[in-house]
Structure 1
Amino acid sequence: MGRFLTFLVLIVGLLGAGGFWLTRARPLPETAVAGFSGDAAAGRQVFLAAGCASCHADRGAEAQEAPLLSGGRRLPTAFGTFVVPNISPDPTHGIGGYSLADLAGVLKRGVTPDGRHLYPAMPYTTYTRMALQDVADLKAYLDTLPEDSTPRGANEIPFPYSFRGAIGFWKQRYLKDAFVGAAPSPQIERGRYLVEALGHCAECHTPRDRFGGLDRSRWMAGAANPAGRGDVPNITPAAISWSTAEMAWYLESGFSPDHEEVSREMESIIAGLSQLPDDDRDAIAAYLKGLAPAR
């Protein structure tokens, strides 16, 4: 009996060690971004499409030439309250000390430079599909923005969600770099990239399961507002009958075909999308019109 218990403890220990090894946080190596150099002008377009300022700056800050990315916004969820970090170029309180590999690891793996899992309140489950060139361009643009010395606030996460090690297991199931929508044309392929890799539209518009992962079988079918106030709408053709031109106009102006103004939560998103080239807004509209209707 004693030998059996010893054997059982050994097996459990080995399984635990194996699970830890498989799910440990792995920063992106410098070799992964070797040869990439960024262009700040192109990076501004990535910044606008990715909606960075919608969380990390004051509402509507995308419209500014030099948004102050001081963070501080509180995001209440069923798993606790997350505090958006400072991502200005400040070397102490922001990300001014990040290398390109550090930033790419955050965006594509959800891992901090010092090897910790990030909570998926930061939409790296979307950004994991970003092209490395876009990450390089984004970093070049972020480096041109003003520094801010606002310290990061602490998240308010109860146990067991405060145990970051479990995020590694969560990522095994939910961190996928495969695209969801179809791309039957170059325009829709561009729209798919803007929506599924940069715009993180699904993070709000797709329902989640009990573990907080996106339910891909109900892609863009609407979801409960994570802040607890009402619902985020269904934006598939089952619910939106607008033409492609009407949808593109909404993304530019913030007004629906019925002249209803965009909701407050979408103001900062539209502030960024309105500054993209017309072709990009047309591509987003074409992608959304081509989605499978979902109720």
Structure 2
Amino acid sequence: MARGRRLALSSAVLAVAGAAAGWALSAPERPGPADLPPGDAAAGERVFWAAGCASCHAAPQASGDAMLELAGGVELESEFGTFVAPNISTDPNHGIGGWTVSDFANAVRGGVSPDGRHYYPAFPYTSYSRMSDEDVADLFAFMQTLPAVAGDAPAHRVSFPFNVRRGVGLWKRLYLNDEPQVALAGASEEAVRGQYLVEALGHCGECHTPRAVTGGLETESWLGGRPNITPGGDIADWSEEDIAYYLESGFTPDFDSAGGRMAAVVRNMARLPAEDREAIAAYLKTVPAVGSEVAEGE
């Protein structure tokens, strides 16, 4: 009997210790420095379009100037629930009008809110974690010039256990880092710029890389999802010029056109200078090829 009580007590102690360790490991961390450089709003507009902010945070089907009214509302469906992009306009009550640049950096690169909560990784901070201090500051400065829009976007629709945000902290320990996704030894300056645009700002891997059952990216098949945009996949026979033109116009070499979410990506990319689209194309021709069987086996 005494032995049974000791075992029960030991199990309880281990359970409490495990819970305490999990609680500590899942704590939100604010990585953003408080001394970011002064932001340049004009430079930040280029970052804004490269990062695709309007694609999720403008109202669904918005166009023209309405793309700068960041009231949120776009729904992102996943196996874990439906996530809804929030209001990130300059409204101080419903948006981010009351944030500091450090608040913004912590949200964008660390997925942590000003009040210390984890954001769900439907917000692609696992890519934005690679953003430079200058681009974070410039983006924030530009967004401060945009109109305030009152009203909250609808809440996420996420069931247990995924509605326990604290668990996101453990997920971040597996998937949140600021390291490059691929090594580009000896690559051109153009390809290096393209790497930053694809891996950080454009967060292309969030859609084009296969995911594990945990929702994290399977980076050994980087950009080899559906469609596969590595040199071994669906655009293997496209030239750099073809890729750059597609990002500007939405037209493929076969005169098909971009649809779905990619159409919104093209609208953003078309606003960038031609050298940025060319840099993306150079990078995509440099990444390791992933065979088409990877996508087929998903």
Structure-2-length-normalised TM-score: 0.90
- The aligned residue for residue 234 of structure 1 is 228
Contact 1:69 1:87 in 2 (8 A): yes
- 2:229 is equivalent to residue 243 of structure 1: no
- 2:275 aligned to which of 270, 274, 279: 279
Residue type of the alignment partner of 2:34: V
Q: 1:59 to 1:277 in 2, by over 3 A?
A: farther
- 2:265 is equivalent to residue 269 of structure 1: yes
Q: Distance in 2 between matches of 1:236 and 1:63?
A: 32
Q: Deviations over 1:182-238 (max 9, x none)?
A: 332211111000000000111011110111111111111124xxxxxxxxx111111
Q: 1:61 to 1:45 in 2, by over 3 A?
A: farther
Contact 2:59 2:67 in 1 (8 A): no
- Unaligned stretches of 5+ residues in structure 2: 292-298
- The aligned residue for residue 34 of structure 1 is 35
- The aligned residue for residue 134 of structure 2 is 133
Contact 2:31 2:106 in 1 (8 A): yes
Q: Deviations over 1:147-199 (max 9, x none)?
A: 10021311110111111111111111111211112332211111000000000
Q: 1:60 to 1:82 in 2, by over 3 A?
A: closer
Q: 1:136 to 1:58 in 2, by over 3 A?
A: same
Q: Distance in 1 between matches of 2:14 and 2:261?
A: 50
Using the TM superposition, give the Cα deviation of residue 62 of structure 1 relative to its aligned residue in structure 2, in angstroms: 7.1
- The aligned residue for residue 221 of structure 1 is 224
Give 3-state SS (helix, strand or coil) of 1:246's partner: helix
Give 3-state SS (helix, strand or coil) of 2:162's partner: coil
Q: Distance in 2 between matches of 1:79 and 1:35?
A: 35
Give 3-state SS (helix, strand or coil) of 2:76's partner: strand
Using the TM superposition, give the Cα deviation of residue 60 of structure 1 relative to its aligned residue in structure 2, in angstroms: 6.9
| Correspondences of 1:152-191 after superposition (within 5 Å) | 152-183=153-184, 184-191=187-194
Q: Distance in 2 between matches of 1:108 and 1:89?
A: 19
Q: Deviations over 1:74-114 (max 9, x none)?
A: 22211111111011000011111111111111111111111
Using the TM superposition, give the Cα deviation of residue 73 of structure 1 relative to its aligned residue in structure 2, in angstroms: 1.4
Q: Distance in 1 between matches of 2:281 and 2:63?
A: 21
Using the TM superposition, give the Cα deviation of residue 4 of structure 1 relative to its aligned residue in structure 2, in angstroms: 4.7
Contact 2:118 2:165 in 1 (8 A): yes
Identity of aligned residues (%): 46
Q: Distance in 2 between matches of 1:139 and 1:212?
A: 28
- Unaligned stretches of 5+ residues in structure 1: 224-232
- 2:20 is equivalent to residue 17 of structure 1: yes
- 1:260 aligned to which of 256, 279, 285: 256
- The aligned residue for residue 226 of structure 1 is none
Using the TM superposition, give the Cα deviation of residue 61 of structure 1 relative to its aligned residue in structure 2, in angstroms: 5.0
Using the TM superposition, give the Cα deviation of residue 277 of structure 1 relative to its aligned residue in structure 2, in angstroms: 1.2
Contact 2:36 2:101 in 1 (8 A): no
Structure 1 window deviating more from structure 2 (182-191 vs 76-85): it is 182-191
Contact 2:230 2:288 in 1 (8 A): yes
Q: Distance in 2 between matches of 1:97 and 1:145?
A: 14
How many residue pairs end up in the alignment? 284
Q: 1:291 to 1:28 in 2, by over 3 A?
A: closer
Contact 1:28 1:102 in 2 (8 A): no
Residue type of the alignment partner of 1:21: A
- The aligned residue for residue 76 of structure 2 is 75
- The aligned residue for residue 86 of structure 2 is 85
Q: Distance in 1 between matches of 2:211 and 2:254?
A: 30
Give 3-state SS (helix, strand or coil) of 2:70's partner: coil
Give 3-state SS (helix, strand or coil) of 1:64's partner: helix
Structure-1-length-normalised TM-score: 0.91
Contact 1:62 1:272 in 2 (8 A): no
Structure 1 window deviating more from structure 2 (254-263 vs 5-14): it is 5-14
Q: Deviations over 1:2-50 (max 9, x none)?
A: 4454344233322321221122012346xx1315210000100000100
Contact 1:86 1:94 in 2 (8 A): yes
Q: Distance in 2 between matches of 1:134 and 1:69?
A: 19
Using the TM superposition, give the Cα deviation of residue 63 of structure 1 relative to its aligned residue in structure 2, in angstroms: 5.1
